[in-house]
Amino acid sequence: MHKIIIEGNRKLSGEIKISGSKNSAVALVPAAVLCDEKVSIANIPNISDVDSLEQILNYLGAYVDRNGDIIKIDSSKIENKVIPEEISKKLRASYYFMGALLSKFKKVEMYFPGGCSIGERPINLHLKGFEALGAKIEEKENFFRITADKLVGTKINLDFASVGATINLILAAVKAEGTTIIANAAKEPHIVNVATFLNNMGAKISGAGTSEIKIEGVKYLHSCFHEVVPDYIEAGTYMIIASALGNNLKISNIIPDHLEALISKLEEMDVPMQIGVDYIKIDSPVCLKPVNIKTQVYPGFPTDLQQPMATLLTQADGVSTIHETIWENRFLNLFELNKMGAKASLLSNSKASISGPSELIGKTVMATDLRAGASLVIAGLLAKGTTIIENADYILRGYENIIEKLSKVGAKISLEEIE
Ligand code: EPZ
């Protein structure tokens, strides 16, 4: 286990380079299993979620060569073994092996535990889509056995524009017989990144990034080289940090189009930004205006930036509100922020209000999930005195080299291993 220690209340200047997207990388690695030859993927972030997926690939007998930010994967000789719970429970994205192995072998057996601190996290939409394609599903106490004589393309209407279900159904449909249409598909950038990867192998996917995706089944997928898209949630997190403490802080290697919802909210807060082709420069303003945030599916305000944003709102001059429409329990960080002097209150399960500006004082606090952890890092950077963030392993799952990136721009932050 690890904890993060921060001496706060320091301005940050310089440049932070954004890494490859976690939520893209954790889909691309399982998708590589579909290729009948070797694939190479660059800009893979060095985060523990990718380590866990590499462990699953090794367990299945794939050839994996990970060197720096490049991973080479050859799944042509993998065995279709049951994926044990102790590996699959390490990250939600292990569910992408359901679509990938079902597509490759017409059979997948794995443990898949539901739930985490932000909510129930069901996979009913994934399973309904697999059944629509012709699969039979047996489930017993988190153990799933999904089989199909063959997978036949069909039209699938998603009740909700689920990111995971959209990607998993693309994986399941890419080698099916005939054409599959996914209606009400999610439009996040990582979906486009996965579809482009598969098309580079010879798949026939069109419409990724829109709410209707068409997949014409193919028989063979050949070798290719691909690159992970920059992580717009990591970028957004550092943009929020810059809005709080930036003194000419540059966040580079980003795609500003992916961050329009956040940029528009920061503009509403009077945050001065210089937006370049692949970077944003931010100075924290003397006074931040309060705003109302409502999380939506892409391209709306991302739920994954709601918790980091909550910390910035503690510094706004007035009352801000957050309406979380995606997850049913994504406000646990507010209780930790209040320990540090914030004035946040829950109005309902899905709504919170935050009044500011509040002076934050360093305390020992607990990360309850990845983005709650990010919210506490921002609070620690703002706070007077020392902040200790326990359960910091959550943060290491999604923010590559966060200690180095922040130290380089002037933060006093360190990581300590605890037994
Ligand atoms: C992905 O989760 C991300 N994770 C999440 O990021 C992100 O918050 C979420 O998309 C929304 O953008 C990865 O990509 C690995 P969903 P996912 O399916 O795919 C309900 C982070 O911090 N739902 O779009 O699990 C679900 O309960 C993580 O990086 C069903 O009801 O999200 C939720 O209310 C946290 N049935 C909503 O849809 C289903 O079968 C959104 O879920 C699937 C989802």
Written as six digits, the tokens of 272 are 């001065």
pLDDT (mean) for 260-283: 98
- In angstroms, rounded to a whole number, what is the distance separating the alpha carbons of residues 297 and 293? 13
Smallest CA-to-CA distance from 28 within 159, 189, 198, 183 is with 198
Residue nearest to atom 43 of ligand 1 (CA): 123
* Alpha carbon of 137 to ligand 1 centroid (Å): 21
Atom of ligand 1 at shortest distance to CA of 370? 22
DSSP letters of 313-360? HTTBSEEEEEE--S-SS--HHHHHHHHTT-EEEESSSSEEEEEE----
299-330 pLDDT, tens digit per residue, is 999 999 999 999 999 999 999 999 999 999 99
Out of 162, 296, 306, 324, mutate this one to test ligand 1's pocket (max ligand atoms within 8 Å of CB): namely 162
Q: List the beta bridge partners of residue 415.
A: 4
Distance CA 400, CA 238 (A): 12
Predicted pLDDT of residue 89 = 87
Q: Is the pLDDT of residue 115 over 80?
A: no
pLDDT in tens, 60-82: 999 999 999 999 999 999 999 99
114 band by pLDDT with thresholds 50, 70 and 90: low
pLDDT at 91: 86
Pocket lining for ligand 1, CB < 6 angstroms? 23, 26, 92-93, 119-126, 160, 162-165, 186, 303-304, 326-327, 370-371, 398
- Using one digit for the tens of pLDDT, what is the confidence trace for 83-113? 988 888 888 899 999 999 999 999 999 998 7
Ligand 1 atom at shortest distance from the alpha carbon of 167: 19
Nearest atom within ligand 1 for CA of residue 369: 22
**pLDDT tens digits, one per residue of 138-169:** 999 889 999 999 999 999 999 999 999 999 99
- Is 287 annotated as catalytic? no
Distance of CA 164 from the midpoint of ligand 1 (Å): 6
In this structure, the residue with its CA closest to atom 8 of ligand 1 is 304
Per-residue pLDDT, 119: 82
- CA pair distance 394, 408, nearest whole angstrom: 22
Please tell me the distance between residue 23's alpha carbon and the centre of ligand 1 in angstroms.
10
Residue nearest to atom 25 of ligand 1 (CA): 164
